[in-house]
Amino acid sequence: MTDDHATATQRALDTLAAITNCRMFDRRRHLFGRRRWLITRSYEALWPFADAWSAVVTLASLDQRPEVQAALDDFDEGLAAYAPDPSDVGDGAGPVGFESYPVPPIGRGGDRFYDDNAWIGLALVRQSQVRHDPRSLALARRVTGFVTSGWSSDPTWSRPGGIRWKEPAANSSRHTCSNGPAAELCALVFELTGDADALAWAVEIYQWVRSALLGPDGLYADRITPEGTVEPTTWTYNQGTMIGAGALLHRITGEPRYLSEATATAAAAQERYTLEALMGQDAAFNAVYFRNLLLLDAVSPDPAYRASARSYADAMWGQRDPRTGLFAGGSSPLNATAPMIEIYALVAGAEPHP
């Protein structure tokens, strides 16, 4: 074990301990949330829950100690709190989508976002691989059915197609963040099950994002309206999912163009996202970016990818609260902290995943 490996692994474990501290975590309900008035909690949204799950399953692929495995068990138990019908999660059939907040009586529930569910699907797929768990894969396939149901079928919209951001029909924005991870999820479902429809979806979604949201700078914009207005902000996680989707499609099909497209995006991103620029983006976005950058590195190695992740990880460690072990940023302490578990695990040598 090298010093770098040992240091990064310990940082990941220390950060896991911070988010599973009783002040952050409700052990009875297997949910994260801040205490309010000593006896009640404000529970975290589905997106931070999914990000934390991805982080812990990444760490579990590297380190099998009991506290890591126990944390994974908690995610399995907690997910049902976000289901419109919790009894449908374990043994149901057909598409299933999870709400943005825990449903009554625990919480108020909320819209079902296609991107949130894609993140859940990716965490489930990775868990199925790490734990050799067919039930996680079966649930991921059901989530995939819900995510692809968000595909826009209105031919009058600019750049027809694309998965909308969330379920209500009134929502018409199509985001890179609701399509990039969906393409990855579909590609993985094909790779693990041979489902040809899933591969067809992966290719169609990937091509739509490239046609609608790839900018002249080689980076992917945030979203497009039916009228064709593009919101040009380039978040790190959007570059990450499209890098990963290209790497996966190359791995599946052997087509060189997917690899060249992924490496071109990575080159543009590496140029744009200096350490200073990375520090200005959310840790949750950067975790997605780095895990996909390192997924590409496994196919087309470039030492700059891992060096960038290591520099960011070191810089962030100096900004954590040494008393609580938490990181600052945004409105969610879970989403500011849990992604750092994933980044430290990746720097320590955990196998990257979408």
pLDDT digits (tens, 9 = 90+) for 158-171: 999 999 999 988 89
Of the pLDDT bands very low, low, confident and very high (cuts 50, 70, 90), residue 36 is low
- What topology is assigned to 3-348 in CATH? Glycosyltransferase (1.50.10)
pTM, entire model: 0.97
CA–CA separation, 69 and 64 (whole Å): 7
Kindly provide the residue ranges of all beta strands, DSSP E only, lying in the chain, ordered along the sequence: 25-26, 31-36, 40-43, 174-175, 223-224, 230-231
Q: For residue 276, give every residue at least 6 positions away whose Cβ sits within 8 Å of its Cβ, in sequence order, or none.
A: none
Look up residue 43 and give its two tokens: 């529970």
| Percent above pLDDT 90 for the chain | 90
* Domain residue ranges in the chain: 3-348
Q: Which pLDDT score, from 0 to 100, does residue 90 have?
A: 78
Look up residue 290 and give its two tokens: 């780095």
Q: Confirm if 84 and 147 have CB atoms less than 8 A apart.
A: no
Q: Which pLDDT score, from 0 to 100, does residue 109 have?
A: 96
